Amino acid sequence: MSKSAKRPQKTSQRRDLTVEKIVEASLVVLRSSDPSALTMRRVAEECGVSAMAIYHHVDDKNQLATRAVDSLFFSAARVPRTEELWRDRLIAFLEDLRRRLLDTPGAGMIFVRQAVIGPGTATTTELMFGCLSEGGLSGAAIAEASDAITMLLIGSIANDLTRPPQIREELGKQLAHEETPILRQNMQSYAIRDGSERFRLAIGWILDGVVQADTSRSRNTPT
């Protein structure tokens, strides 16, 4: 799209290419494709510039991908949250973040594939820690809960983006009928899935579990 936009009049040296524009162009690419579409040449084209111009503003493709995904975290973490209870506030934030990553599937998959460290993920972690800390959890419990939530977020996005529910019917065809009786018996429940609902459920169980574990832990070793 916009192939012939941005055709520079002057021969070169426009000084109007910025990291922000490059990140924005990357997100445009990632919005409609998987990470394989994020190529330096494609991003350059989107910016109306030669491929090598990109390298003057970012170190390499890896850093560019990280910056693009981190900007989504930053947007999500900046949304003001009005929920009273820390639990509701945390869950609402996580659902919003998850939705943003799914809406830009290429970015979602990059988050699944590689570590994303930046202002966005830092703010996100601060926000999560803030909620958990408000819930009265100990430092150890905050770390445990945070890790469990991260695992669920990554797994949920990977599941939604690469494993459509229908694919599960293929599972039953991999072996002889008598080898997967229980799978077949439950296939009907298994092949239908609302990713958001499954995510919300699992997060709820995790929070219940960590709160309960931390309560009994502090009861055994009181301060």
CA pair distance 123, 72, nearest whole angstrom = 11
- Tokens 């502090």 correspond to 218
CA pair distance 123, 77, nearest whole angstrom = 6
Q: Which does 180 bind (CB under 5 to 8 A by kind): DNA, a second copy, none?
A: a second copy
Of the candidate spans 5-13, 16-24, 96-104, 192-200, the one that interacts with a second copy by CB under 8 A turns out to be: 192-200
Task: Give whichever of 47 and 68 is closer to a second copy, judged by the CB atom.
Answer: 68
Neighbours of 115 (CB within 10 A): 7
Site residues (CB under 7 A) for DNA, limited to 61-80: 61-62
Q: How far is the CB of 43 from DNA (least distance, A)?
A: 8
Contact yes or no for 200/99 (Cβ under 8 A): no
CA pair distance 80, 127, nearest whole angstrom = 11
Q: Which does 183 bind (CB under 5 to 8 A by kind): DNA, a second copy, none?
A: a second copy
Contacts (Cβ under 8 Å, ≥6 apart) of 145:
132, 137, 206, 207, 210
Q: How far is the CB of 158 from a second copy (least distance, A)?
A: 5
- DSSP 8-state assignment for residue 114: S
Q: How far is the CB of 137 from a second copy (least distance, A)?
A: 10
Query: Which of 2, 14, 136, 155 contacts DNA by CB under 7 A?
Result: 14
In 3-state terms, what secondary structure has residue 152?
Answer: helix
Site residues (CB under 8 A) for a second copy, limited to 123-162: 123, 125-126, 129-130, 133, 139-140, 142-144, 146-148, 150-156, 158-159, 162
CA pair distance 113, 126, nearest whole angstrom = 22
Report the run of H or E that residue 150 belongs to, with start and end: helix 139-162
Tokens of 72: 């989504």
- Which residues here bind DNA, judged by CB under 7 A? 8, 11-17, 38-42, 44, 49-53, 55-57, 60-62
Site residues, a second copy (CB under 8 A): 109, 112-115, 117-119, 121-123, 125-126, 129-130, 133, 139-140, 142-144, 146-148, 150-156, 158-159, 162-163, 167, 170-172, 174-175, 179-183, 185-186, 188-190, 192-193, 198-199, 201-202, 204-206, 208-210, 213
